[in-house]
Amino acid sequence: MAVLPIDTAKYTGIICAVPPAPRIADRETGRVRVDRDTGKTVYQVGLCLMSATSADVVNVSVPGEPAGVQNGVPVQVRDLVAVPWENEGRHGVAYRAAEIKPLAATPSSKGASQ
């Protein structure tokens, strides 16, 4: 399985488009997906990845609930990767990140507009 790292620095902005929700592993039982490495519940967040000429919304899985991430909030994403998959003739790309958190205002940006 190829894991393709994504350089988030190339985006002019990353905004939460769909708030975090637990990923469901089994729809019949309602069992949630759990990260194998951390044991935390896996959450899915819809992120709008914006560049100078386009914007795409992708669903990103992340272990643990991303605190403070809600609709319209600019976010910071750590270790974003794309994972191509194929299963029973279907295929696509899944996105994962180690962490998603609200983008904190930097001290220099607070005084810039005054």
> Cα(85)–Cα(1) distance, rounded to whole angstroms?
8
Q: What is the pLDDT of residue 2?
A: 85
- 16 in any annotated domain: yes
- 113 in any annotated domain: no
If one counts the domains in the chain, the total is 1
What is the CATH classification number for the domain harbouring 31? Answer: 2.40.50.140
> Cα(3)–Cα(113) distance, rounded to whole angstroms?
41
Question: 54-79: per-residue pLDDT in tens?
Answer: 999 999 999 999 999 999 999 999 99
- 77 in any annotated domain: yes
* Residue tagged 């998603």 (tokens): 100
- 109 in any annotated domain: no
Range of the domain at 44: 4-104
- Each of the 114 residues of the chain gets a pLDDT tens digit; together they read 689 999 999 999 999 999 999 999 999 999 999 999 999 999 999 999 999 899 999 999 999 999 999 999 999 999 999 999 999 999 999 999 999 999 875 444 444 444
Contact 45, 57 (CB under 8 A): no
